[in-house]
Amino acid sequence: MVAPPDNDVLWARGLHHTHGSTPALTGVSLGVRDGEILAVTGPRGSGKTTLLKCLSGQLAPTEGEVWFNSSPVHTLSSPSRERLRLDRFGWIDTEPHLVPELTAWENAALPLLLRGTGHRAAKHTAMEWLDRLDVGMCARRRPARLDQSERQRIAVARALAAEPQVLFADDPTAPLHRADGAQVLRTLTTAARSHHITVVLATDDPEAAALADRSLALLDGRRTGAPAGPNGSPDAESRAACSLSV
Ligand SMILES: Nc1ncnc2c1ncn2[C@@H]1O[C@H](COP(=O)(O)OP(=O)(O)OP(=O)(O)O)[C@@H](O)[C@H]1O
């Protein structure tokens, strides 16, 4: 087995995933450097969401390897992957999935409370991030009393408040108006850079991708411009990045 290079916080080799009989990923290899913002681009159905889910441990790839901080993720049990997601990863979905019974600040504080952060500290941090996302005035309202843009900003605040090591954002501005989406993305990328959070951003919007440090394009479950070899062997970039054998 080949271990990833030390400066890659996430590394994947030869990822395949099939949803039922639909192939979604066919031999994708990549490395994500610590602190970088990587855009995963491609048209609808190209495999972006499936790739982010495999990298974040939500889906076990049908074939291939995923490493985080030089430790294998693909061999972890389901509870260990859940723990990893809670402790180290953040996720922003296309739709804001908030807990309807909780207020905005309680939603934003939830990952911190689940990790055992004290109530007062969790509330303070959540309120800071809600302010930064321009929804501080909504803190005491429940999701049903908020509009879609406010709900998505709260979902972004919730993800950032937990200060994950890696934040996966699956087309996070899709439900927002263009100007609104651009502002939320700028806040997200600025916060990620200042807090040294690595971001993997799935998007089909070139303006969103332009905010990233680097882009990786998918088409029909494969990287374009960096074709995988037979059986999903790593592309030249990934092979060159492999520095250590275990
Ligand atoms: N749960 C599922 N069951 C069956 N097929 C699926 C499922 N999820 C995704 N697919 C299929 O897998 C392929 C890749 O989908 P995926 O959602 O990863 O692409 P995407 O680039 O994120 O697309 P979008 O931008 O529409 O979200 C598509 O052909 C899609 O129809």
The ipTM assigned to this model is 0.95
pLDDT-flagged residues of the chain (< 70): 1-6, 226-246
In the block, tokens 């100007």 appear at 179
What is 2-245's CATH number, 3.40.50.720, 3.40.50.300, 3.40.50.1220, 3.40.190.10? 3.40.50.300
Confidence (pLDDT) at 226? 52
Provide the pLDDT for residue 227. 39
3-state helix, strand, coil in the chain (%, to 5): 40, 25, 35
CA of 42 to the centre of ligand 1 (A): 12
SS3 state of residue 148:
helix
Residues within 6 Å of ligand 1 by CB? 19-20, 22, 24, 42, 44-50, 204
**Are the CB atoms for 138 and 146 separated by under 8 Å?**
yes
Closest ligand 1 atom to Cα of 204: 25
CA distance 128 to 136: 8
Tell me the per-residue pLDDT of 151-199, one tens digit each, with 9 for 90 and over. Answer: 999 999 999 999 999 999 999 988 888 888 998 899 999 999 999 999 9
What pLDDT shows up at residue 118?
Answer: 96
Query: Residues 42, 218: contact at Cβ < 8 Å?
Result: yes
Ligand 1, atom 1: closest residue by C-alpha: 19
Counting every residue written for the chain, the total comes to 246
Any idea what DSSP says for residue 225?
S
Distance CA 96, CA 151 (A): 6
Beta-bridge partners for 169: 92, 201
Domain locations in the chain? 2-245
Residue 178: its pLDDT value, please? 87
Distances (CA, A) of 234 to 23, 31, 194: 18, 11, 32
pLDDT of residue 30: 96
